[in-house]
Amino acid sequence: MSDAARSYNLESTYLRLRSDVSIEALNGDASFWPRLMGGELGTFHNEYLMTTFDYARDWTHWEMHPLGDELVCVLSGSAVMVLEQSTQQNLIVLDKPGEFVLVPKGTWHTARISGACRMLFVTAGEGTQMRGL
């Protein structure tokens, strides 16, 4: 059976959206992030990573994607996305399922979570930078 002929779940499978418009399903187990950060999964040059995460608290960091935009969509619950733009913070409330923000490349951002929240991300992750709050 080919990979395309089975079902997946975004809770346990991440999707690599390739520049040749193909999609690769990646096992989202505990080894995923160390493999990704260690370069075992390649550079993700001109590619996107699609994932979902559950949050119960505010993010403890800021992140920035220098090589591409990011889509952040609330699937359940609510969040306030904080985008650092010029010398001010732009607050975007996402409190209805399906609401999303497009975070421009090079924009530092974090999230404030209001209770339990599930979010979907489509991220140009190559070169991602993080810093503490």
What is the average pLDDT value for the chain, to the nearest integer? Answer: 93
Instruction: Determine the pLDDT at residue 42.
Output: 87
The stretch 32-45 carries a mean pLDDT of 87
What are the residue boundaries of the structural domains of the chain, listed by start? Answer: 3-132
- CA 20 and chain centroid, separation: 20
Residue among 26, 131, 117, 129 nearest 79 (CA): 117
Check whether 111 has a pLDDT greater than 70: yes
Token pair in block for residue 133: 């709050």
**Residue 1: predicted pLDDT:** 43
> Would you give the DSSP letter of residue 32?
H
Which of left, alpha, beta for 42 (phi over 0: left; psi -120 to 50: alpha)? left
pTM of whole model > 0.85? Answer: yes
**The pLDDT of residue 51:** 95
Question: Which pLDDT score, from 0 to 100, does residue 4 have?
Answer: 57
Give the per-residue pLDDT at 115: 84
pLDDT, position 3: 54
How does pLDDT run across 86-110, given as a tens digit for each residue? 889 999 999 999 999 999 999 999 9
**Rounded percentage of the chain residues whose pLDDT exceeds 90:** 77
Thinking of the domain 3-132, which architecture would CATH place it in? Sandwich (2.60)
